Amino acid sequence: MPKGITLTPEQQAARRSEIVDIALRLIAENGFQKTSMREIADLAKMGKSSLYDFFKTKDEIAVYAMEKKFEEIIEQVHRIIDNEPLPELCLRKIMHNQLKVPHQYRTVLMWLHAESDYLEEEYRKRLKTIRYEYHNTIKTVIEGGVAKGVFRKTDSDLVVRLLINSMLSIVYTSRPSASEEKMLDETINIFLHGIMNEGGEKNEPLYPVFGA
């Protein structure tokens, strides 16, 4: 950008998302701690202090990235819910949707997950808001299923937390036991049916729905 002009809100937003892209790439490669604002600024071809015109702190880059991505995901989840009346299928689709979050986001997501209690008030609030929104959206599916009698009575908040966190076990492992999609299908099988061999001695693997 030339020096004397005034940036339109669109240009500012574009610059911000450009910075986020660069930051996410570096963070995914070297971790959050070891990624410096200088590095990000260099790659974005600006002085470090200019970077601070777009984001007040390093933490804010992570929070902003998470916020934007989750706004997007929540929108998608609402569409899924509107189009899939079967609770168990709806859950599968929601989880498969979350699996599509690009790899670059994973480190930053994990980092926020671990560090969120110790961020500044403002960031903690922003994260809480977006996370609760996602949580509550999925919760409606569980509660809808319970109301219909498809799901048994259970602690729906707990179920949602377990489901969301289980995505991390699938995506964030150094020792995957199958493709991410297969692991996800089996994860949902477990959530729906458990691992007990309750149908007697058949011991058949449960049906996969999306996996190959």
Partner DNA sequence: CTTGACAAGCGACCGTTGGTCGCTATATAA
Partner DNA sequence: TTATATAGCGACCAACGGTCGCTTGTCAAG
Q: List residues near DNA by CB under 7 A.
A: 1-7, 15, 35-39, 45-50, 52-53, 56-59
CA distance 2 to 23: 23
Q: Please choose which of a copy of itself, DNA, none residue 104 contacts, taking the beta carbon within 5 to 8 angstroms, the exact cut-off set by kind.
A: none
Nearer to a copy of itself, 90 or 159 (CB): 159
CA distance 15 to 55: 11
Q: Please choose which of DNA, a copy of itself, none residue 58 contacts, taking the beta carbon within 5 to 8 angstroms, the exact cut-off set by kind.
A: DNA
CA distance 110 to 101: 13
Binding site for a copy of itself (CB under 8 A): 30-34, 88, 107, 110-111, 113-115, 117-118, 128, 132, 142, 145, 149-155, 157-159, 161-162, 164-166, 168-170, 173-175, 177-178, 182-183, 186-187, 189-198, 201, 203-206
Nearer to DNA, 56 or 193 (CB): 56
What is the nearest approach in angstroms of DNA to the Cβ of residue 57?
3
Give every CB contact of residue 7 below 8 A, 6+ residues apart in sequence.
Answer: 1, 15
Asked whether 103 and 47 are in contact (CB, 8 A), the reply is: no
Helices 156-171/180-193 angle, 10° precision: 160
Beta-carbon count within 10 A of 117 CB = 8
Q: Please choose which of a copy of itself, DNA, none residue 36 contacts, taking the beta carbon within 5 to 8 angstroms, the exact cut-off set by kind.
A: DNA
